[in-house]
Each structure stands twice: as C-alpha cells, then as structure tokens.
Structure 1
Amino acid sequence: MMRKTPQFPIFGHPMYMDAVDAMKLFHEVQAMCKAAEQIKRLRLFAEAQFQAVNDYQLKASGGYAGHSH
C-alpha cells in the first residue's frame, strides 16, 4: 500500500504570511543599511516565525516538532 503524503494549505495561512512579511521587513531594513542591532533583531524574529511554521507543519503531519514552550 502506498502511503499518501499529507497536503497542507500553508501558503495562504496567516501564520505563513506573517513569516513572509517578517522576512520582507528584514530584507528592506537590511537594504537601507540600518543599525546592525535592528537588523539582527528582525532577522531573529523572521527566523523564529519560520521555525514556528515548520513546527506547526511537523506537528500537523504527526512528526516530531520539538518541545512546546
């Protein structure tokens, strides 16, 4: 029996869109050569948003998504 790969409508999901917006903001601020601390903060925020999306997808598919805090 073939195992069916679960499909996730994640690309239109608000959680995913928030992560994309955070990454866009990071790149915009980086292009404006703003303060290094501000750029670092935005990068960390964008990375955390995408990590949350990944954890959500793993948990929804029954995979291991690490510890919930």
Structure 2
Amino acid sequence: MDDLQEKMVLGEPLMQQAIEALRRYHQARDTLAPIEEVERLRVVAESLFQAISQYQLRALGGHSATCH
C-alpha cells in the first residue's frame, strides 16, 4: 500500500464518524427535535468534517491553519 493510500485509510474512521454525525443532525432536523439539539448536532458534524479536511490537507502535503 502506498503512503497516500495508507493515510487515507487511516482517516476512514474519522470520515465515518462525520457521516454518522451528519445523519444524526439531519434526522433531528427532520423530526423537529428541539432547536438546541439540532444546533448541537450541526456543530458536531461541522467540526468533524473540518477535522477531516485538515487531516486530508496534511496528508496531501499541504498546511492547515492550525494543528492541535
């Protein structure tokens, strides 16, 4: 397995978490859950997708704005 493919495979669990968080957000929004819960789920999903973006940028040799 080449280095890039290995890095993408290593990022897969985070991608799955983000997709699941987005599903939970959409489900809460569609079932008219309390607005605070919908907003919380939106923030969680957005945060996870931002983390994926930063990971992939670093994996491709770019530089992200922050690295925690």
Q: Normalising TM by the smaller chain, what interval?
A: 0.7 to 0.9
Q: Which whole-Å CA distance do the structure 2 matches of 1:42 and 1:54 have between them?
A: 18
Q: Which residue of 2 aligns with 1:63?
A: 62
Distance 1:32 1:48 in 2: 22
**Alignment partner, residue 28 of structure 1:** 27
Measure, in 1, the Cα distance between the counterparts of 2:67 and 2:56. 14
In the alignment, what sits opposite 1:3?
Answer: none
Aligned-residue sequence identity (percent) comes to: 35
State the Cα deviation string for residues 12-68 of structure 1 (Å, max 9, x = none): 811100000000000001111011111000000000000000000001111111112
- After the TM superposition, which parts of structure 1 deviate over 6 Å for at least 4 consecutive aligned residues? none
Which structure 1 residue ranges, 5 or more long, are not aligned? 1-5
Matched positions, count: 63
CA-based RMSD? 1.8
Q: TM-score by structure 1 length?
A: 0.81
Q: Where does structure 2 lack aligned partners over 5 or more consecutive residues? A: none
Structure 2 residue 45 is matched with structure 1 residue 39: no
Structure whose alpha-carbon radius of gyration is higher: 1
User: In structure 2, what is the Cα distance between the partners aligned to 1:67 and 1:51?
Assistant: 11
Larger RCO: Structure 1 or Structure 2 (Cα < 8 Å, ≥ 6 residues apart)?
A: 2
